[in-house]
Structure 1
Amino acid sequence: MTLSFAPPASAKASAVHRLPRLRIPLARSWPSFGRLLRGGSTRDLGRLPRYLVFLLAGLASVWTPILFYLSSTPPSFTSHMSLILPGSGASSSVNLAEIGQASTQTNSAFANNSVSPTETYKRLIAADRVVLEAARQLDVPRTAFGNPQVQLVDQTAFIHVKLNGPSPEEARARTRALLTAFTAEIDRLRADEQETREIGGLDAIHDYRASVARTRDDIAALRNSSGLYSAEQYQRYLQEAEALRARIETQRAEHARVESTVRQLEGRLDVDARTAAHILKLNSDEIYVALMQATAKTSSDLATAQASYGAHHPQVERTQAAHRLAQERMQARAQALIGAGVPLEQSVEGGRGALLADLVRKETERAGLASELGTLETQLAAERARLDALAPDAARLEDLQRDFDVAEAVFASAIARTQSQRTDIYASYPLVQVLEDPTLPDAPSSPSKKLSIAAGGGASILLLVALVMGWVRNAVITSLTRRGSDDAANAA
């Protein structure tokens, strides 16, 4: 290393000629900081050993870890599988006779934007209990089993899973065990959800059953106390009462008609129906008819005797005695037959007899109608009293029956819904299918020789580029400084 000495500025101005500079070699020491920044001449080959040393040290620091990694790292194989979540939902409907309709509907797994089933399954696959279960199946320690790598494909329902193993068969076995543990965990979660829902549904069913039983007991108690078994029965009672009322109206009209006929016949015959019945009864008795004929004959004989003899003539007296005897016998016979005196009618021959018979028949019909009408009116009054007493019970029974029907329908629908929910197992945890079975790797995934060599080569190239830049840095800095001075001078 040399030092240069130059005369002062004042001496430089007065000197006639310039003295040559003296270069005195000094002892070598560490280069200055400026020299480290600027570097040396690109033609100075004395710098080459230092750069070679740096190159060899840099290559050794790059390739030694790479070679150690390739030689000491055991091979690792990666098995992968692909899962898919179908995106369509499912629905079903069942009509139950006399009960109602039970329907189930499973929405698509991707219908809710706030919940991603693929993200849920990604977390579940990597869950510690799933990995522990898979390691337990293979009797492998959890630390040696490894962690699965789960990757989701955007805008799809695919889930890619990767898992490493010391051998191809071991990697595939671990992936299969992970798949088995994952599906078993999903089934357990679904079963737990179904059990929880079923417990809640059974509690509701017990409440509905108790409500139905209470309503049934109330209905039974009301039936026992009132004798009314249904609201339809009360309606039938109302219909029967209305029919009875209509029948009474008809009976009244018929009774009025027959009574009018009886009055007309009584006015025409100038006898009442009771007397007409007595006349017909007496004239139908042969003894009475014979006595009546005998009385008529004695009456005729008496009239003849009175016309021929005096009032006290023995013939007249004998005829009068015979006539009185005949009348007494006839009255006695009438008394025995009808319990009344001698009737006014002595003969019912001709059309008068038919009219008398018609009068008696109509009177009998009128009496029958009157009796039947009285019975019907009594029955109607009793029926109305019973309906008035049953009206509150019928209203209460109808309300209870309606409550019972509603409670029974709710109870039946709850049972049907509980049963149908057993098929809806994919509501919270949608269906997942294996799109690609766990693969058997044919080459180790690590250590990667190609990647390691490529990384070492890249690092070596970067080291060479750095050393080349260090070799020419003085020329580059000088060129940049000179360009800056020229630009400044041009600007001035």
Structure 2
Amino acid sequence: MNTLPVLATHQGRFSRRFRQYKYLWVSLLATLIVAGLVVAYLSKSPVYASALSVVLPGSGSSSNFAIDDVGSASQSTRTPFSSIAFNPLVNYKEIFKSRGVIQSAAARLGVHPTALTPPRIELRERTSIIYIHADGGSAESAQRYAWALFDSFQEELERLRQDEMLRRDNSISSVMEQYRLRLMQTRQAIVDFQQRSLLVSGEQVTQLMHTLTNINERRISVQSSVRNAHDFVRQLGIDLGVSPALAGQAFRLQSDPEFRGYLKELDTSAMKVAEYSSLWGSKHPKVVAQNLRYDTAQQSLKFRSTKLVGTQSAEILHNIDLASSIHRAELFASLMENYAKLQGLQAESTQLDITETKLEDRLKVFTRESAELERLEREHALAEAVFTSAAVKLEAGKSDIFASYPALQMLGLPSLPYAPKSPNTTIAIAIGAMAILFILFGLFTAWHRQYLISLLLKNS
């Protein structure tokens, strides 16, 4: 029995029925697919989102300080938004999403990095606030993930700051070494100059000039005293009729016992001659005897004087008796004393002249050497100023650790979500319903397309 016509009849009947109800079947199939997708979405594991926010400071700071005998330095921290070349908020966004921060957060949580979803970073325009959203399988895990992200981010910032400081220090260490070598060279140049020269420091020139001034003042004073003493000695010698040398020889004769004896004998014989001459004539034996006695005493005085002080002085001094006139003796003594003072003042004046000449010669040498020493000291001072200034600025720059990576302040603590972020039942049902409505509308439009086209043509 042939069944082919019967089978063809059944297939044709099914095909006609399918074409008759094809929009119904497609709508049912589409509805089932949308419902399946919604059910699949709602059956997913819940995802919780913990949110935290951080803020960057909006202003910088600056400070100036001075160090005695060293110099001054300034330290300033610029506001992170002062440059238009980059935005620190964008940099921090990328650091939050970096592999290092994710791996560090995973290590803190004790999970594999692939088990963590990258955080969602949100930036708001015209603000310095960063919003971070961390997802987790539970509310507590999401909150822990947010804390781990923040701690890992801070650790990464600290690492970047330390690396920047290390690289900056290494880059300027060679420059500082050059400054230090230059400073040592200028110091050694001063030491070498001091070893081969008379001048050690600039104070020597000042002291030498002060000494020369004092010597010059003293020399002028001594020369005035010399003139006064010389005039006094000269006038007193004229008044006494003797020179200071004769006055000294007179005192020498007066201190000789033998001369004093002859002088006393001369005085006694002179008195006797005068006494006897007044009583008797010149031929009287007693007068003759006393005259002979007087002549003998006078001859003895001359002989003794000549022996003690010489012939010329003896002619003047042999008959001078200072003991008989105290006032005359005081004048002789004053003449000798002032003459001795005059000699001392003249010697002092001569020595002052010699000393002044030597010091002036030394001053000329010091003047030439001081110019060279001042040049070396200026070079050393400049090298020292450059070195200390660079060192102070380096130390001050070390405190500015937030120049490239500004400090962060936590504005909002990581939240503990009360409900999962997904799946969201309300949104899923709403989207599913809207999808079904769009599908039904589309199928309805396709089903009545001929009627709709005819209406459009009729209206046109």
Structures share fold, TM-score greater than 0.5: yes
User: Which has more radius of gyration?
Assistant: 1
Please point out which of 349, 352, 362 is paired with 1:386.
362
Please point out which of 297, 314, 321 is paired with 1:341.
314
Please point out which of 118, 143, 165 is paired with 2:89.
118
Shifted more, 234-243 versus 348-357: the winner is 348-357
- Do the aligned residues in 2 keep the contact of 1:208 with 1:407 (CA within 8 Å)? yes
CA distance in structure 1 between the aligned counterparts of 2:57 and 2:107, rounded to whole angstroms:
30
- Do the aligned residues in 1 keep the contact of 2:282 with 2:288 (CA within 8 Å)? no
- Give the alignment's Cα RMSD to 1 decimal: 3.4
Alpha-carbon deviations, 1:429-486, whole Å to 9, x = none? 11112222333333222232222222222222333443454566556555554554xx
C-alpha displacement of 1:249:
1.4
Please point out which of 377, 396, 418 is paired with 1:401.
377
C-alpha displacement of 1:61:
4.5
- Do the aligned residues in 2 keep the contact of 1:230 with 1:398 (CA within 8 Å)? no
Aligned to 1:374: 350
Please point out which of 34, 40, 54 is paired with 1:68.
40
Identify, as 1 or 2, the structure richer in helix.
2
TM-score normalised to the size of structure 1? 0.77
- Residue 362 of structure 1 pairs with residue 338 of structure 2: yes
Aligned to 2:302: 331
Aligned to 1:59: 31
- Do the aligned residues in 1 keep the contact of 2:60 with 2:78 (CA within 8 Å)? yes
- Do the aligned residues in 2 keep the contact of 1:278 with 1:343 (CA within 8 Å)? no
Please point out which of 409, 427, 439 is paired with 1:433.
409
**For residue 181 of structure 1, what is the amino acid of its counterpart?**
S
CA distance in structure 1 between the aligned counterparts of 2:68 and 2:308, rounded to whole angstroms:
76
Alpha-carbon deviations, 1:151-205, whole Å to 9, x = none? 1121111111122223333323333322222111111111112222333454444
Please point out which of 246, 256, 271 is paired with 2:217.
246
Shifted more, 324-333 versus 284-293: the winner is 284-293
Structural mapping, 1:7-406, within 5 Å: 49=21, 51-71=23-43, 73-283=44-254, 287-298=258-269, 308-309=281-282, 321-335=292-306, 337-339=308-310, 340-344=313-317, 346-348=320-322, 349=325, 351-406=327-382
Identity %: 30
Q: Give 3-state SS (helix, strand or coil) of 1:343's partner.
A: helix
Q: For residues 405 and 150 of structure 1, do their structure 2 counterparts lie closer, same or farther at Cα, with a shift above 3 Å needed? A: same
Aligned to 1:420: 396
TM-score normalised to the size of structure 2? 0.82
Q: Give 3-state SS (helix, strand or coil) of 2:118's partner.
A: coil
Aligned to 1:22: none
**For residue 314 of structure 2, what is the amino acid of its counterpart?**
G
Alpha-carbon deviations, 1:121-142, whole Å to 9, x = none? 1111111222223233434333
CA distance in structure 1 between the aligned counterparts of 2:309 and 2:191, rounded to whole angstroms:
61
CA distance in structure 1 between the aligned counterparts of 2:31 and 2:209, rounded to whole angstroms:
114
Alpha-carbon deviations, 1:331-379, whole Å to 9, x = none? 3433455454243462442654444333322222211100111111111
CA distance in structure 2 between the aligned counterparts of 1:331 and 1:220, rounded to whole angstroms:
74
Shifted more, 237-246 versus 408-417: the winner is 408-417
Aligned to 1:490: none
Q: Give 3-state SS (helix, strand or coil) of 2:316's partner.
A: coil
Q: Give 3-state SS (helix, strand or coil) of 1:74's partner.
A: coil
C-alpha displacement of 1:318:
5.4
- Do the aligned residues in 2 keep the contact of 1:330 with 1:342 (CA within 8 Å)? no
CA distance in structure 2 between the aligned counterparts of 1:442 and 1:94, rounded to whole angstroms:
53
- Do the aligned residues in 1 keep the contact of 2:48 with 2:417 (CA within 8 Å)? yes
Unaligned runs of 5+ in 1: 1-46, 485-492
CA distance in structure 2 between the aligned counterparts of 1:385 and 1:111, rounded to whole angstroms:
66
CA distance in structure 1 between the aligned counterparts of 2:87 and 2:116, rounded to whole angstroms:
28
